A and B are shown apart, each in its own frame.
Chain A
Amino acid sequence: QKEVEQNSGPLSVPEGAIASLNCTYSDRVSQSFFWYRQYSGKSPELIMSIYSNGDKEDGRFTAQLNKASQYVSLLIRDSQPSDSATYLCAVNMFMEYGNKLVFGAGTILRVKS
């Protein structure tokens, strides 16, 4: 079964610190990877996508991808209390009938002021 694994947390970091969120996936041939942020009771919101090995930066967010290790991470620099949310890792996986976006269960991040 094709899976995406995340540590459920909560991950607690002080305001201003770097938060590091990790995700592993089972499908070696996956090519597209996404991070969604979800505030409590709200819908998921796409914050980063990454397709190539290495780092991709967008403001305070950096996504890192290592396809050989089947590992993708999200770094949040200068963490703010407003970053407190659940972060969902999603991987586009190949199925018999086409691609499918498979979500991890999410990591709860708490940023303490």
Chain B
Amino acid sequence: EAQVTQNPRYLITVTGKKLTVTCSQNMNHEYMSWYRQDPGLGLRQIYYSMNVEVTDKGDVPEGYKVSRKEKRNFPLILESPSPNQTSLYFCASKEGREETQYFGPGTRLLVL
């Protein structure tokens, strides 16, 4: 089944404790992206990757890191999480020139 998977789905952590949210897709998509969703603000792009080893900042990159060492994986790293990073996070992927994005199931993060 074609899908985007994220882990963990739910995470409660404390300020400053490094964490990684994994994202994996099995559709051989070139493009992958991370979004955060907050009430009243919609989906805001954090980082995106056009292909392996190619990443760039989205609209709200501060406090986040990403890497794209393999085509299928695009982990999101929070080196020192803060409470304002409490949010619902979505990973998405698409074929390079296509416009339809496929979303993962989401990761709900609470930073205390």
List chain A positions with a Cβ less than 8 A from chain B: 4, 8, 32, 34, 41-46, 49, 88, 92, 97-101, 103-106
B106 touches A43 (CB 8 A): yes
User: What residues on A are CB-neighbors of B105 within 8 Å?
Assistant: 42-43
**CB-CB contacts below 8 Å: B4-57 with A:** 35, 40-45, 50, 56
Known pairs A41-B106, A97-B56; A46 contacts B42 (CB<8 A): no
List chain B positions with a Cβ less than 8 A from chain A: 35, 40-45, 50, 56, 90, 99-101, 103-106, 108
Q: 15 more A-B contacts (CB under 8 A) besides A44-B90, A92-B99?
A: A4-B42, A32-B99, A42-B105, A42-B106, A43-B104, A44-B43, A44-B103, A46-B100, A88-B43, A101-B99, A103-B35, A103-B42, A104-B42, A105-B40, A105-B41
Closest residue to B105 on the A side, CB-wise? Answer: A43
- Shortest Cβ-Cβ A-B pairs, 8 listed: A105-B42, A43-B103, A103-B43, A103-B42, A32-B99, A43-B106, A44-B103, A43-B105
A106 vs B38: C-alpha distance when bound (angstroms)? 11
**What distance in Å separates the Cβ of B18 from its nearest Cβ neighbour in chain A?**
25
User: What residues on B are CB-neighbors of A44 within 8 Å?
Assistant: 43, 90, 103
- Please name 29 pairs of A and B residues whose Cβ atoms are closer than 8 Å in the assembled complex, sorted by A: A4-B42, A32-B99, A34-B99, A41-B106, A41-B108, A42-B105, A42-B106, A43-B90, A43-B103, A43-B104, A43-B106, A44-B90, A44-B103, A46-B100, A46-B101, A88-B43, A92-B99, A98-B50, A100-B45, A101-B99, A101-B101, A103-B35, A103-B43, A103-B44, A104-B42, A105-B40, A105-B41, A105-B42, A106-B42
